Amino acid sequence: MSTTYFNFENLTVYQKSVVLSKDIYKATQKWPREFLFGLTDQLRRAVLSISLNIAEGSSRTNKDFQHFLSISRGSCFECIPLIQISLELNLLTKIEYSELYNRFREIAQMLSGLRSSLRK
């Protein structure tokens, strides 16, 4: 992608959330089918919600964008128990869990920072 039409595409937090979504999809492809309609689907929907809310919120007023960023941050938080359960079910290794945890934490912090900057 050489040029962007939508401003949100230039946001680092958006770019990181898209990459994280892709990585979650790849990781969950190898999970047993018995988890497909519960844990796998919920984790995939929650991680997708991060970038989707950034994109949708960017088309709104400043105040509305702040609200959508809060929803995105909530989706990051939602992913934490999902990856913790995945670890406990041996669907993720401790290393995979730790890496994902840190990535969700980083994105949540970036969303908070962006939201704060919009308040000024």
DSSP string, 77-108: HHHHHHHHHHHHTTSS-HHHHHHHHHHHHHHH
Whether 43 has a pLDDT exceeding 70, the answer reads: yes
Architecture of domain 9-29+36-119 in this structure: Up-down Bundle (1.20)
Whether 1 has a pLDDT exceeding 60, the answer reads: no
What is the model's pTM? Answer: 0.92
- What pLDDT shows up at residue 2? 53
pLDDT digits (tens, 9 = 90+) for 59-98: 999 999 999 999 999 999 999 999 999 999 999 999 999 9
Q: What stretches of the chain adopt beta strand conformation (E)? A: none
Closest C-alpha among 39, 75, 38, 69 to residue 56: 69
- Asked whether the beta carbons of 47 and 79 are under 8 A apart, the reply is yes
Structure token digits, residue 45: 């929907």
> What's the chain's average pLDDT?
94
Residue listed under structure tokens 């519960």 = 38
Residue listed under structure tokens 């497909």 = 36
Residues in the chain: 120
